[in-house]
Amino acid sequence: MRRLLALFHGVARCLKWGALLVVGVFLAAQLWFMGWIFWWKHNPPQETSFMRLRLDELREKDPAARLRWQWMPYDEISTQLKRALIAAEDARFVDHEGFDWRGIQLAIEKNQEKGRFVAGGSTISQQLAKNLFLNPGRSVLRKGQEALITLMLEAVWDKKRILEVYLNAIEWGNGVFGAEAAARHYYQTSAARLSAPQAARMAAMVPNPRYYDRHRNARGLRGKTDIILKRMPVAQLP
């Protein structure tokens, strides 16, 4: 009996220290995320998790591969592109605090209706959290971490900074990241000079950029572009 009790207490101690270790690692990770968020409040991110992932994929085929990316300040990016992205990705961007609960509910209903995953309901803030730190997976743990990082971004940055970093961080093609590189890649112009139709088409590509990079006349892209163009005049900017 004493041996059983001793064994029980030993297991309990191991579980206790194991739980404390897990909590410690979790808290350390959150502090690491928060540290970068504070740094990037005033400094441009030079690399994101998605950039590292795509560069590794490209270098499996070509060890000399490089990403196309160039940071551009908020005021040097076309207002048309800002409106297009908000119209396409997050119409209530300036009003919510990181999560569009109405959009999430609509996405759930749409997925249930289709019987498969067709809509995510993620806000610009959530997408930025994922692009900066995480991976494209859809596990419960990853979504939970995404939510925590989203709260950090909304607490530390204003909406203008969130949109500025988002415009510079999102993937826009095979090895193409950010508005400036995308504008050069698709239209041989700067992000500052994008027209409304060009901006709308770029925004329409965001959900599946590498596919649209390879299939620029893909069925449905024109329709999505037209819908975004119609929504752009009422899109609210921070």
Q: What local confidence, expressed as pLDDT, does residue 186 receive?
A: 97
| Cα three-residue angle 111-113-119, rounded to 5 degrees | 25
CATH topology assigned to domain 41-234: Penicillin binding protein transpeptidase fold (1.10.3810)
Q: What local confidence, expressed as pLDDT, does residue 191 receive?
A: 98
Contact indicator for 47, 168 with CB cutoff of 8 Å: no
Q: What local confidence, expressed as pLDDT, does residue 118 receive?
A: 46
Whole-number Å distance between alpha carbons of 206 and 50:
14
Q: What local confidence, expressed as pLDDT, does residue 138 receive?
A: 81
Q: Kindly list the distances between the CA atom of residue 1 and the CA atoms of 5, 10, 13, 24, 137, in Å, as whole numbers in the listed order.
A: 6, 14, 18, 34, 48
Q: What local confidence, expressed as pLDDT, does residue 117 receive?
A: 47
Q: What local confidence, expressed as pLDDT, does residue 101 receive?
A: 80
Q: What local confidence, expressed as pLDDT, does residue 1 receive?
A: 62
**CB neighbours of 176 closer than 8 A, spacing ≥ 6?**
67, 68, 69, 182, 185, 209, 213
Q: Which amino acid is at 11?
A: V
Q: What local confidence, expressed as pLDDT, does residue 67 receive?
A: 97
Whole-number Å distance between alpha carbons of 10 and 6:
6
Task: Using 70 as the pLDDT threshold, list the residues of the chain that sit under it.
Answer: 1-12, 14, 16, 103-104, 106-120
Whole-number Å distance between alpha carbons of 8 and 160:
55
